[in-house]
Structure 1
């Protein structure tokens, strides 16, 4: 295939992706990465020659995404979140915009006395790292997957965030740590749900699926919280859009004196739970 200019490469890839029912924007993301250009530069220099040593790799990646559904973030090895760049691979979830809203909700509700934040089930570390850099508070992070922790630690180093890492099941390794704020985007997909192939076939199932119709992780975290002598002032969860009432009920059933609110995301879907300990 003879793609001689950036414009020709964009046009071919967009049409090819549309034919395979994929998002045409992937073409630009791949070109931005291969050429190390911002999108505005792609447009400004679209009549320039496409370096021939990049053509074969570009075609290969476009075809891979179109035919298999492999996420573009896996093809380029990174994803943007909250204005920063994070490494991602098949061991961690790809960051999603809804999680940025969870971050904003936590930051907005922080109090001066909240000294320690714990991100449990941290995955790639995006929540812990972002909260550390945005708030400067002591930040703990746990995950049961050693592979995920390896990715998270690398991301923390790249972004200059000092995080204290723990391996284990949610709060279990943090028994003796004081915690003011618990934040988690745990697995919440019911095992019978069918997902898009870019998620189903490439995101780690450990971070996606949970028993009890997707509620098992919340059950574990809430029960672990209830068994602690010191209760966090705030608990913040990302949730599936139909899980708000069930998670709220779980909190009320196991934790006394928490005021629970369900917040919607930008798409007007229930997406976040914030539980605040009554003072």
Structure 2
């Protein structure tokens, strides 16, 4: 990578340099805009309107450094910014948690729809493997009457999630443990989870942005990516009272396998595989026949 510092002065030139630099390194060109917005603390429209202005000296170095860092290593733009977006809110993220993905918003949407159509009052909702807390905090914010508990094995992840809950003024209870293990005696209406579901065999096909920066324990699972679902469903089978709704995010080829796991260990559930916005199987919803 050339060590020569780029010679630009205006915001427009900075944007052009960054876009070309990213393109040459096969990175998303859009990162240039996201980082400019961040460092300038400007809206996209303001950048377009005033792009002839010179780039302030104090952000020149950090901007160049961030662009080069992303180009060389693939470090996610969310790590450079310190936050990611989810369901219209900003959440702190770091190397201990999965970066929030738009597909997971659809999982949350499915749970919200379920609560609204069944008119569940004050539902007890549990989010397993909460990571940065995006699912639990969003559900609590959208359903203030609900009781939301979030579980994670990682203390570092729970620390990030706790900060996010405070930031969004949401009263979520955080518990450390292995999925449902600490809550087996509780009465739960809805279990929602985006667990690790990538098979270790897929590792070499993944891009560096995901592989090197998302925590492995949040990505990979044994048994071709199905281990977490088995653990959760087996834990569910030990509960005195089964939840009314189970909502899983899945890998796009796992719909039938996850459905089979539910049917094998639990009785009385109707399963539905749902597609995401890209028309890939992305969720399994299981409803208890009342």
The TM-score bracket by the shorter chain reads over 0.9
- 1:92 and 2:97 are equivalent in the alignment: yes
| 1:266 counterpart residue number | 277
- 1:8 and 2:13 are equivalent in the alignment: yes
Tell which deviates more after alignment, 169-178 or 124-133. 169-178
Q: Determine the C-alpha separation between the residues in 2 that align with 1:113 and 1:6.
A: 52
Q: Is the 8 A contact 1:166 1:174 kept in 2?
A: no
Q: Determine the C-alpha separation between the residues in 1 that align with 2:111 and 2:263.
A: 20
Q: Is the 8 A contact 2:185 2:240 kept in 1?
A: no
Match of 2:45 among 34, 40, 47: 40
- 1:224 and 2:232 are equivalent in the alignment: no
TM-score by length of 1: 0.99
Q: Determine the C-alpha separation between the residues in 2 that align with 1:263 and 1:101.
A: 10
- 1:78 and 2:83 are equivalent in the alignment: yes
Tell me the secondary structure at the aligned position of residue 267 of structure 1. Answer: coil
Tell me the secondary structure at the aligned position of residue 201 of structure 2. Answer: coil
Give the Å deviation of 1:176: 2.5
The aligned runs of 1:1-279 (5 Å cut-off) are 1-110=6-115, 111-113=118-120, 115-136=123-144, 137-193=146-202, 194-279=205-290
What stretches of structure 2 of length at least 5 have no aligned partner?
Answer: 1-5
Tell me the secondary structure at the aligned position of residue 260 of structure 1. Answer: strand
Q: Is the 8 A contact 1:123 1:143 kept in 2?
A: yes
Describe the superposition over 1:3-49 as per-residue Cα deviations: whole angstroms up to 9, x where unpaired: 21111111000000000000000001111111111111111111111
Q: Determine the C-alpha separation between the residues in 2 that align with 1:42 and 1:251.
A: 51
Tell me the secondary structure at the aligned position of residue 192 of structure 1. Answer: helix
Tell which deviates more after alignment, 111-120 or 198-207. 111-120
Q: Determine the C-alpha separation between the residues in 2 that align with 1:3 and 1:93.
A: 35
Q: Determine the C-alpha separation between the residues in 2 that align with 1:148 and 1:211.
A: 21
Give the Å deviation of 1:53: 1.0
TM-score by length of 2: 0.95
Tell which deviates more after alignment, 36-45 or 255-264. 36-45
Q: Determine the C-alpha separation between the residues in 1 that align with 2:106 and 2:46.
A: 29
Q: Determine the C-alpha separation between the residues in 2 that align with 1:62 and 1:251.
A: 45
Q: Determine the C-alpha separation between the residues in 1 that align with 2:288 and 2:239.
A: 14
Q: Determine the C-alpha separation between the residues in 2 that align with 1:84 and 1:177.
A: 30
What stretches of structure 1 of length at least 5 have no aligned partner?
Answer: none
